[in-house]
Structure 1
């Protein structure tokens, strides 16, 4: 452990912080706030940064901006901040600023995490009257507006998650001559904003500025509440602004009494040399660095779930027993009983959530008999929960106090027949703690699939200055609750579902084991989702459903299984109905995944054909382990030849499926060229350097 540097108050207007793989330089003067002027991999390496302030703060009762602008830059309080000292150690740099004029103090914390930085800012009311915050930035970084960068962003929706776009930045922020506008600054802006309580329901909280000639940067917002990121034109630079909830976008406001504090949501920021794939590789390593890993996570077990294209929320003993036997025979290590296990046969599993007691008429001998069958077949049991939802037909809707639910305008919020619990309330927390503890103690549950199927809107007004602040408080309490579950039950695994992947963010994923990547039921459309998933989440967390069906051909069966192998294989389907040839393909995919899963957990994603388009006939994903890789190719159109110049000089060998014809691979010079048949068809190859 290095010794902690003292808090500096000297007159030197510049200071640096250097760690392995990171070099930051800041400056400050009496007439401006602290600026980040250099961000690089090493002191001698090229910098990704142009000089810019490190934080923006917008408050009520003060002119929002020093300039007429569309974005969240040049906030009046932010521009008035002045340096008050800094300190550092081997993992954190802490910079203090204050503005006596507005009674604001800001502590900015830069935490090293792998090749990146996790950044947050704490605003303290140092004045003698209340202060209302309307937004606090999480991360700011300016880069030269030299036309070298492509902008990458992700769009998402139910059943079509993770559709990435890559465009030259100049398409969105055209080159403008300030001299032709009386010297005024341009106001160009590209921005993405979350909507309601699905943090990834429309867009992904991740972006990249990729370049080949200068360092690339990548960022993510780590919140399950409101977020906003923007790339704004500002003279000779463009500034990436990463924000949590704001008044403008999410009905956020936080009142601070004298002495009170508010901390922004974390943001991850990475730099890399080498363009798009290098930026995502750095982001992948950063995500691994911020996870709260436990020994049970390291096993990376294979889970079968009875929902997708199978029981769809209608489990029973008679339906489950054949699935349990066939899942075990296929190589599954956990068996998760999904939605409906608590719902009466005549009731609705959708609107009866909340009490989490088994429905005895569904299970001959009770739910425990099914759990016993899971264990007798060598697997560990799991259950589906939607912890924040209380159905309108649930007894808990009347049993819990009004203040334990989200409310707007004095009434409970109701969406799709459900209320939402507010985990800031002790009664809500106690109910869920009791539920999980009881299910673990009574049934020995070792896996929970935690779902979140409703966008509840901007938030709650209970114990909050604005709905967006209530939602943020709840989601922070949700993460704390998850950590409490893991502390009490260190052998239990948690899946984050979020209605497919509509709440897929690293507020939750940093403490979760697995993320369902979609609710997509068409195996042909799952290929672009599975291929793009590692841009948003770690490959080892990407729970790609593999749901073979008896109606599929052998080629279609292999196609469906390929998505699962190239992430975390999440098995489903009526495996008991498959032919012997189909079952062999399933077992082969499971065995291949088990052979490679620990390598996948150290891999970096590469897209040899670029990030997939939703309608692409050919989709490709490479998981690179350094000396070797796995490469998946999916064919969804006519027969075609695909050249892979990024794999020049490497040897490709078909690894899956061995029972189906090998695809022809030839070389053009040293570039591999693969001949693909008409789809649907897929193959997995090993790639040797």
Structure 2
């Protein structure tokens, strides 16, 4: 007879089932009094280890159905509530014949429906346990409790399964934020595996490897069915390699997620008797719609952010790089920019890359982080003092994990302080990568940051990262993947220590644009760069999709208007940043009077209208997540009684756009144009709120670039 564990908070309750013959599984999830039943047995915890292998009848490349996972049995459970109302549950499982203990730790913050889970595996046996993957979260799709029955017909493809879709994010340098919806039958073809009377062997697998956690795909996924009224969302909370998969079993579909694996990333960890390993965490939630679960992920990210910095009142940042100095800062170039940036209302002025370089080729000289004497003949302090005197916080670009081959530091640090491949330093684009597990590497980055803060009063760092040195380091590691994982964790620990020592310091995460937009980064930084894309016409897709991975107030979407733009192009470039962290670049010292006025108008509208709501808002997409070539793009933010919507038109073939907003059904809606003001531009947009169909209907100019930012304020009718 199965036993049940029920646990949760006021909004979300989870039920788990187990027995003496079966492992632990998630059997139901109730969110805001709506229950999804999960009758099919998918083990919550899976462990693949050398010599144990899969428990599948034949070969399988899946994360699930491992022999160790199949043998785990319930031992005990305990629950606690922290002072902030966070609920915690620990379930101890054991596979006695193999001497393996697995402690599943679940965390559910107050007022959220997102559960975080991780597994600590301990070797109680006498033989070494060589781990190859550890899965802290797996579940089948399930069905609404209100449904008459779960689909169980195994003689043909289930119509319920056919209705599911996978939402996946893809990225590359300059091409971030490309989300797509994949019908599940395209990802998991109908194989009629019931005739063979066993589950399929494959699955739809999504991975990322090496040091760029979001360099190709996103560690966030959504699986949903409009027919079933169910949406699952999950995120792998890791700044390195990971894998998630969606597949089909005879009775239902399933989801599984993990950190690095042996088969995908060359990760392996040998755990001796009495030793333990803790998995990469995975968080998940369930709701009715995609919009529901994205909103819950946003709330969870806000509640669990580790260092709040200025998130409650985000500062406006000016950075000198994009389409401006492009890594060639000097005193003569910076001082006019500083003066002009201060008049726009910027709070931070960040000096980007190149400030340390005397050679004119800043890329391979990184590492010593001493200011250039040729770029700043009177010292860097002349520039940082000017920034402070102009009422702004001085900021610097830094790439702390990289040491250029031509940097003096390259010969001062021991080989063991760098990523190594069988004793040889890994080289990527004339750079070495520091291994922050090593005390010499840690001491170097600590002393660098502390010195720059003390010497120049730096209050803001843009931490960049541009190195991809393969699967990891073999130095002092059980595998290259193990070395990378432990470095990833050491990096997060270093950031935590840095913030504890300098609590007022503001930190931006930039990784070759947005190649590390994972939750380890976003939970520790004040803002994240969302791309290195230099074409303002392409940026709307990136800006619109950025809140899928981070908080709206963290989305560092570049606005880089240029002096030769016309008014619509200029406003379009500024609109790219307005529903995120206001992040400005460009030759503001060369702008005309009307251009400077438009920048000030944009920042004024941002501060007065958007900021008071942005830090409590959740994103939505009236036209759906955009495709790369879409002519019409819309991003919305909703907070209590107001929605903000940015609409971009890119050379539209039509003069009409209709934005569905069903969440405003039954409300009295007043629409206000926030930016640009009608008198500021040459083209006319007109709009109407359609109360019968809950749509914002727009009349727009055709065959040109144009964008507008609206506020929709609403009350109950």
Q: TM-score, normalised by structure 2?
A: 0.92
Secondary structure at the counterpart of residue 53 of structure 1: coil
CA distance in 2, matches of 1:667, 1:430: 59
Decide whether the 8 Å contact of 2:684 with 2:700 is kept in 1. no
- The question of whether the paired residues in 1 share the 8 Å contact of 2:209 and 2:240 is answered with no
Aligned-residue offset at 1:288? 1.2
Deviates more, 1:609-618 or 1:357-366: 357-366
Give the 3-state SS of the residue equivalent to 2:136 in structure 1: strand
Per-residue deviation, 1:347: 4.1
**Residue 114 of structure 2 aligns with which residue?**
116
Measure the CA separation in 2 of the matches of 1:492 and 1:522.
31
Deviation per residue, 1:130-166 (Å, 9 max, x gap): 2111110131121146234321010000111010001
- Residue of structure 1 equivalent to 2:68: 77
Q: 1:30 aligns with which of 20, 34, 59?
A: 20
Counterpart in 2 of 1:663? Answer: 685
Question: CA deviation digits over 1:71-100, x for unaligned, max 9?
Answer: 111011111111111111231110001112
| 2:312/2:615 contact within 8 Å kept | no
| Secondary structure, counterpart of 1:568 in structure 2 | coil
- Cα distance in 2 for residues equivalent to 1:48 and 1:534: 30
Secondary structure of the 1:36 match is strand
1:126-275 correspondence to structure 2 within 5 Å: 126-144=124-142, 146-147=160-161, 148-181=163-196, 183-212=197-226, 213-273=228-288, 275=289
Partner-residue secondary structure (3-state), 2:685: coil
Residue segments in structure 2 that go unaligned for 5+ positions in a row:
82-86, 143-157
Which of 641, 649, 667 is matched with 2:656 structurally? Answer: 641
Q: Secondary structure at the match of 1:94?
A: strand
- How far does residue 440 in structure 1 lie from its aligned partner after superposition? 0.8
Q: 1:16 aligns with which of 6, 15, 39?
A: 6
Aligned partners of 1:135 and 1:246 also within 8 Å: yes
8 Å Cα contact 1:18-1:42 kept in structure 2: no
Contact 1:296 1:490 in 2 (8 A): no
For residue 628 of structure 1, report the CA deviation from its aligned partner.
0.6
Aligned to 2:450: 437
Give secondary structure in 1 for the equivalent of 2:477. coil
- From the superposition, tell whether residues 617 and 42 of structure 1 become closer, same or farther in structure 2 (CA, over 3 Å): closer
Greater displacement, 162-171 / 115-124:
162-171
Match in the other structure for 1:3: none
> In structure 2, what is the Cα distance between the partners aligned to 1:179 and 1:634?
48
Work out whether residues 211 and 276 of structure 1, in 8 Å CA contact, stay in contact via their aligned partners in 2: no
CA contact (8 A) 2:644 2:709 kept: yes
Deviation at 1:27, TM superposition (A): 1.3
Q: Secondary structure at the match of 1:360?
A: coil
Tell me the matched-pair count. Answer: 676
- The 1:49–1:646 alpha-carbon spacing in structure 2 relative to 1, beyond 3 Å, is farther
Write the distance in 1 (CA, Å) between the matches of 2:129 and 2:496. Answer: 31
Q: How far apart are the structure 2 equivalents of 1:577 and 1:319?
A: 12
Is 1:676 the counterpart of 2:705? The answer is no
Q: Deviations over 1:107-143 (max 9, x none)?
A: 0011013220111000001111221111101311211
Q: 3-state DSSP class of the match of 1:565? A: coil
Show the counterpart of 1:6. Answer: none
Q: 1:92 aligns with which of 82, 85, 88?
A: 88
Query: In the aligned structure 2, how far is the partner of 1:451 from the partner of 1:577?
Result: 28
SS of the residue aligned with 2:255? strand
CA distance in 2 between counterparts of 1:52 and 1:166 reads 24
CA deviations on 1:454-480 (whole Å, 9 max, x unpaired) are 212100000111101100000100000
Equivalent in the alignment of 2:330: 316
The answer as to 2:49 corresponding to 1:59 is yes
2-side partners of 1:202 and 1:682: how far apart? 29
RMSD: 1.6
**8 Å contact kept, 2:307–2:499:** no
Query: Does the CA-based 8 Å contact 2:671-2:689 persist in structure 1?
Result: no
Shift of 1:223: 0.8
The CA deviation at 1:548 is 0.8
Determine which of 498, 514, 532 is the counterpart of 1:519.
532
* Counterpart selection for 1:654 from 653, 656, 673: 673
How far 1:289 sits from its partner (Å)?
2.1
What's the counterpart of residue 573 of structure 1? 586
Q: Deviations over 1:168-216 (max 9, x none)?
A: 22332244544323x1223341111103211111101110012334331
Deviations 1:603-634 (A, max 9, x none): 11111011001000111111111211111110
Q: CA deviation at 1:298?
A: 2.6
Deviations 1:557-581 (A, max 9, x none): 1000001111111111101111111
Q: Offset at 1:585? A: 1.0
Instruction: Provide the residue aligned with 2:486 in structure 1.
Output: 473
Write the distance in 1 (CA, Å) between the matches of 2:660 and 2:312: 35
Q: Distance in 1 between matches of 2:696 and 2:630?
A: 20
Q: Using the TM superposition, give the Cα deviation of residue 67 of structure 1 relative to its aligned residue in structure 2, in angstroms.
A: 3.3
Worse-superposed segment, 540-549 or 162-171? 162-171
* In structure 2, distance between residues paired with 1:203 and 1:255: 28
SS of alignment partner, residue 384 of structure 2 = helix
Shift of 1:48: 6.3
Structure 1 unaligned segments of length 5 or more: list them.
1-10
SS in 1 for 2:297: helix
Contact 1:187 1:232 in 2 (8 A): no
C-alpha contact (below 8 Å) 2:219/2:242 kept by paired residues: yes
Give, in angstroms, the shift of residue 50 of structure 1: 4.4
The answer to whether the Cα contact below 8 Å between 1:389 and 1:418 also exists between their aligned partners in 2 is yes
TM-score, L = length of structure 1: 0.96
1:36 Cα deviation from its structure 2 partner? 1.2
* Equivalent in the alignment of 1:605: 619
Question: What corresponds to 1:459 in structure 2?
Answer: 472
Question: Which deviates the most, 200-209 or 673-682?
Answer: 673-682
1:251 and 1:466 in contact (8 A); partners too: yes
Runs of 4 or more above 6 Å deviation: none
1:414 maps to: 427
Change in Cα spacing, 1:34 to 1:138, as seen in structure 2 (3 Å) is closer
What is the CA distance between 1:46 and its match in structure 2?
3.5
Contact 2:222 2:231 in 1 (8 A): yes
Does the 8 Å contact 1:138/1:244 carry over to 2?
Answer: no
Please give the secondary structure, in 2, of the residue aligned with 1:185: coil
1:12 Cα deviation after fit? 7.1
SS at structure 1 position matched to 2:391: coil
Alignment map for 1:544-623 (pairs within 5 Å): 544-595=557-608, 596-623=610-637
Alpha-carbon offset, residue 278 of structure 1: 1.3
2:151 alignment partner in structure 1 = none
Alpha-carbon distance, 1:295 to partner: 5.0
